[in-house]
Chains A and B, each alone.
Chain A
């Protein structure tokens, strides 16, 4: 069967739909729909992060909510200090909180990257089911830590009263904030696309397909995987930072294993290892949640049915269904 459309063109169409939908909603004065699209965009970014580890590297991490949550908490904690005019630390020198997104994002990315470095360094000594379980275990550790840490809200979470700011943009306006998130997503996707075709991308895909061969060629599979895991964690952490600002709230639920599972669902729905797989997946997820959620609380039944259909009949997910098998050179 000839493919309906090349993957590259499909990606452009999808990017335009994701941009056009909220624009239309904005001019139709439906700010809620803009916010819904923002949510999809941010969740997509979390999925893009996991897709680097899971799709390109074959690393089935069941603990990516840890990075999502750490990114979120990094923003929440620093912003709450800023709101309360309390410095983050006073000795040996004073560090004040901030409400500048650029700084907050940087911290979120560094924190989640460091966490991914530690978790990855330990977890990547295992593989298969053990890897899945150990990543889950690390995420659960962080989850329970967040719950039991009263200084930053514990189980109740932490509120950010005013959305943090970004130079030249009024982040309080739904459309502006959407466009900011959309731009971040596009920049990350562009970077991932370059990376996939560059030497690192080749090494990572080779490790997924034939680890022994890569070692025989003199490269260390462990280091390649670890680097991918860190990059993956950083991207998901950045998504967590945006998510904190979207909801103006962070809570341990951002770190729960449900969320790890949902991020994985985005990828499977959209297409594993496909650039726009998580974007499609997250949009479908949010759409399902909104459409079916409005008349039944059991909307996840429909999501489950869709997931089952994809796993049974369309292994390449949505992208695979429309654009056919992935091409490599």
Chain B
């Protein structure tokens, strides 16, 4: 069996009486897209936050590369190579698209204390940013301020920033949200190839995208994983149909 890069076991998180994550076991192996699906409020985003370190787990372990990282804070985990994209685009609004990706490239170098050399003459950062923007198809928008980008462009910029981090794993929280038909299908093609660079833990509501992309699918309902398997197994899984797919496919 291939050694997983990321493995969660018995991960639990409660807010008061509400268990948002209930002893979740999950792993991510190299080269795969592991999709996490579930109805609204199932705790998908919370799970990503627990892995990224935005939330601290109450119990359970998070192993990355065989090392327990549950005690590390968010910046420390990001430095190890867990890069997340946000469900609602989280960008630096006053920077240009290129400025955002350049900042991600700068962050990957853990470089903060530069006081003299001007970033806008930094050929390394610029070319890295242009490359990442090019890959997501935003080259011609690189000089535009984030606040003037369209919703779809912001979604793509999120991905470009993640690329510039050159992560070990991607944690993607609904990257397709609001992209539209054409945008979604382009992004599906892109993610399909991206998995060879680094595995992806993917939360997605777009079921077509999930069934096309995912090597494995885990179904989260009320904080618990109720089923796991390949696309076909999940599609026909009775509990899943009842809990989740049932509403659309009845």
- Knowing A199-B119, A200-B112, A227-B113 touch, does A216 contact B78 (C-beta < 8 A)? yes
- Chain A residues in 8 Å Cβ range of B181: none
- B96-115 with Cβ < 8 A to chain A: 96, 98-99, 102-104, 106-108, 110-115
- Chain A residues in 8 Å Cβ range of B117: 198-199
Instruction: Pick from A198, A201, A202, A217 the residue with the most CB of B within 10 Å.
Output: A217
- Chain A residues in 8 Å Cβ range of B104: 217
**CA of A201 to CA of B112, assembled, Å:** 9
Partner of A328, one of B83, B95, B116, B161: B95
A199, B90: Cβ atoms under 8 Å? no
A215, B103: Cβ atoms under 8 Å? no
- Chain B residues in 8 Å Cβ range of A215: 54, 74-75, 78
**CA of A57 to CA of B103, assembled, Å:** 16
Instruction: Pick from B78, B94, B104, B117 the residue with the most CB of A within 10 Å.
Output: B94
B114, A218: Cβ atoms under 8 Å? no
Partner of A205, one of B78, B94, B107, B115: B94
A195, B94: Cβ atoms under 8 Å? no
**Chain A residue at minimum C-beta to C-beta distance from B80:** A218
**CA of A218 to CA of B76, assembled, Å:** 6
B118, A217: Cβ atoms under 8 Å? no
A218, B103: Cβ atoms under 8 Å? no
**CA of A201 to CA of B115, assembled, Å:** 7
Q: Is B93 an interface residue (CB 8 A)?
A: yes
- Chain A residues in 8 Å Cβ range of B50: none
Chain A nearest CB from B11 CB (Å) reads 20
B99, A329: Cβ atoms under 8 Å? yes
- Chain B residues in 8 Å Cβ range of A25: none
A214, B107: Cβ atoms under 8 Å? yes
A213, B90: Cβ atoms under 8 Å? yes
B52, A216: Cβ atoms under 8 Å? yes
Q: Is B79 an interface residue (CB 8 A)?
A: yes
Q: Is A212 an interface residue (CB 8 A)?
A: yes
B110, A219: Cβ atoms under 8 Å? yes
Q: Is B84 an interface residue (CB 8 A)?
A: yes
B106, A328: Cβ atoms under 8 Å? no
B118, A328: Cβ atoms under 8 Å? no
- Chain B residues in 8 Å Cβ range of A206: 92, 95, 103
Partner of B74, one of A191, A205, A216, A224: A216
Q: Is B56 an interface residue (CB 8 A)?
A: no
- B1-15 with Cβ < 8 A to chain A: none
**CA of A6 to CA of B178, assembled, Å:** 38
**Chain B residue at minimum C-beta to C-beta distance from A218:** B78
Q: Is B150 an interface residue (CB 8 A)?
A: no
B92, A203: Cβ atoms under 8 Å? no
Q: Is A210 an interface residue (CB 8 A)?
A: yes
- Chain B residues in 8 Å Cβ range of A202: 95, 99, 102-103, 106, 119
- Chain B residues in 8 Å Cβ range of A197: 118-120
**Chain A residue at minimum C-beta to C-beta distance from B121:** A197
- Chain A residues in 8 Å Cβ range of B62: none
- Chain A residues in 8 Å Cβ range of B99: 202, 328-329
Partner of A217, one of B76, B103, B115: B103
A217, B78: Cβ atoms under 8 Å? yes
- Chain B residues in 8 Å Cβ range of A326: 94
- Chain A residues in 8 Å Cβ range of B93: 209-210
Partner of B114, one of A199, A213, A214: A199
**CA of A210 to CA of B84, assembled, Å:** 15
**CA of A160 to CA of B110, assembled, Å:** 46
**1/0 per residue A215-254: CB within 8 Å of B?**
1111110011001000000000000000000000000000
**CA of A195 to CA of B117, assembled, Å:** 8
Q: Is A194 an interface residue (CB 8 A)?
A: yes
A199, B96: Cβ atoms under 8 Å? no
**CA of A218 to CA of B83, assembled, Å:** 9
A195, B92: Cβ atoms under 8 Å? no
Chain B nearest CB from A206 CB (Å) reads 5
A200, B113: Cβ atoms under 8 Å? yes
Chain B nearest CB from A253 CB (Å) reads 34
**CA of A199 to CA of B118, assembled, Å:** 7
Q: Is B145 an interface residue (CB 8 A)?
A: yes
- Knowing A216-B52, A219-B75 touch, does A198 contact B94 (C-beta < 8 A)? no
**29 intermolecular pairs with C-beta atoms under 8 Å apart:** A194-B118, A195-B115, A197-B119, A198-B116, A198-B117, A198-B119, A199-B111, A200-B112, A202-B95, A202-B106, A203-B106, A203-B112, A205-B95, A209-B94, A210-B90, A212-B54, A212-B90, A214-B107, A216-B52, A217-B78, A217-B104, A217-B108, A218-B79, A218-B107, A219-B112, A227-B113, A328-B145, A329-B95, A329-B98
The 9 closest A-B pairs by CB, nearest first: A218-B78, A199-B114, A217-B107, A218-B79, A197-B118, A213-B90, A215-B74, A198-B114, A206-B92
Question: Known pairs A201-B119, A209-B95, A326-B94. 14 more at Cβ < 8 A?
Answer: A199-B106, A199-B115, A200-B114, A213-B86, A215-B78, A216-B54, A216-B74, A216-B83, A216-B84, A218-B110, A223-B112, A224-B112, A328-B99, A328-B145
